[in-house]
Each structure stands twice: as structure tokens, then as C-alpha cells.
Structure 1
Amino acid sequence: MVINLGSGHIRLQASAKALNDGLWHSVVMERSGRRGVLSVDALRTDFSCPGRSANLNIEEPIFLGAVPWESAFLARKRLPEAVTVIQLMVDGDGTEEKAAAQRYPSTVWTIGLRIGFMGCLKNIRVNGINAQIANAFRAAKLSSEIRDAHERDDGAALPYNRMLGLK
């Protein structure tokens, strides 16, 4: 997880173990001011953000997954200095669209891995409120991007690769 309160980003990793076992895992991030805790299942990692700012500004979208990198980056065989993310935003009634671009340093994103998040997401809550991702995609007429997490006979989820932007 990458967190930036405006004075530089920090990268958090709760475990060196890959969570690609096809099972559901619990990921919780709690923050108060500059300090917080990232928990993955029963593993807990405390953190403190650099600088003076203690506020988290989430006027911009929250991304879950990966940045849509260009194949040109991969052809260079080196990471770019920064990545520009362009996101199309649609207002609540679906009548007005606008595009926004923002630059992020390549150290923030996993461009070199060539894949985004592999897996299924469920029960995403922000400040205790269900984010209702599927409804946001339907409202933006992006329902083709929604896929149900199919479960195997053993209760594990079958993964797929998606980049999600929440507003």
C-alpha cells in the first residue's frame, strides 16, 4: 500500500508472503493523523507518514489495482520517471464527463511488474461506509468492467485482473 499525505509517500508491506492462494484475505488500513496501522489477516504493520501534514485529502480518486501503463514503457526496459494517469470522471446523473490527468512518480506504482492487482475485491469500506464499486461502475456506464468473483468448490475465489478507480 502507498500512502501520501502531501509530504512524500511511504510504501507499506504487511507481509513478504504472496497472497495468491485463491482464498479471501482481510486488509484493513486505519489512520489517525500521521500514524496508522496496516493489517493483512492477523499481521499488523504500524506506520508514520513523513512531514507535518496529518490530513488525508481524498478529493482525487482512490485507485485499487494498478495504473494503466503504456506498452511503450515496457519497450524501454526501464521505468519512466513518472506516470501520467488520465481518468474520465462522470457526474452522478451520468450527463457530464470530464477528464483529469495527474502525474505520479514511478516509485509509487508497480509498473515494472507489468500486472495490476490480481484477485477479487469485496466489502470495501471507506470511513465505515460501503464504497459500492459495482453501483459506481453501472452509474458511469462501465458495467462491462464488472465481473462477479466466481467461487470454486472449495470456497476460494477465481482471480481476474482489473484496475478500479473510485471517486
Structure 2
Amino acid sequence: MLGLFTPNYYIHRFNALRPAYLKEHGIELLVCDIDNTLVAHDIAVPDQDVLDFLTAIKEAGIQIVFISNNVEERVATFAKGLDIPYYPFALKPLPKTYWKMLKDYKINKKHVAVLGDQLMTDILGANFVGLHTILTAPVVERDLACTKINRKFENMVFKLLKKTKRLTKGVYHE
């Protein structure tokens, strides 16, 4: 069961994810969460670090898609002008949106990686579907009220992961 909460790769910040790592793992589609993965939840548009990261991934020939539990307006505003498709109100960790993506892109799940900042939504949902999971530390400490609740449960899971020597919070793979 703890395996569903264990990412394949754990990084300190989204831009520590190198295209070479994705290529080595056969990744053709990178599914990116937005809020607190790429920017704080209250930042409407990507900053230069995010733009540079997205450009590097695209230049490596890897497709990108955004996924978010946030509303369409927020996700559309963030994605505007980036030529990156998105799936808002994804209801992660439920797997429905991940399955829809696989169908939409006609891609085998072994070629898909998911980048997110939460064990309880991003990692759990993607692992349930069998995708390659990449956990990043949150961009900022502040969270929405609902995410604060998830973080409490997440901290309990981190303790179990540490106890079982699967993962230690703050000890990154890169």
C-alpha cells in the first residue's frame, strides 16, 4: 500500500528535473501539476524559471500537459500562450483524468511521467494508474485550506515512508 505513495524520483524543485532523466526513462509525455509544483497557488502566470523549464522539456522532444484540481479559469490563465494542453478540475487522486489523458494521447503509460508536489493527490493518483511519478518539494510553504488538510495526512505518510526506508522527506534523489 505504501508503494502507492512512493514516487519514482524525488527532487527539491521542478527545474531540477532534467530532460535527460526523462529521456533515459523513455518518457514522451510529462504531466505537470501547476499549483505549488511550478508556481505558488496565488501566482497567475508562469515566471521565467517555469518558462525556461517548459522550453527545455519541449526542446528535448517531450510533450507537456498540465493537470490541476483547480478550476478551468485558473488553469487556462496559467496556460495561455504556452501552447500546452491542460486538464482542469482533475479530481486527483481519482484516476479518471489520467486514464482520459492516456486515451487522448494514445500513449502507453510506461511513456508518461507525472510531476507534482503532493503525495496525497499527484503521486497517489498517478501511481494508481501505473505512471512514472516525480515528487517535487512545494514551491512555497503557504497552501490553500484544503491542501493544508492534505499536508497533515501527507506528513503522516512521510513518517511511514521513512520508517520503512522508502523515502525521507527532504532527502532528494538528484
Answer yes or no: same fold by TM over 0.5.
no
Structure of higher CA gyration radius: 1
TM-score by length of 1: 0.28
Q: Which has the higher helix share?
A: 2
Return the structure number with greater relative CO, CA threshold 8 A, min gap 6: 2
TM-score by length of 2: 0.27
Q: Which has the higher strand share?
A: 1
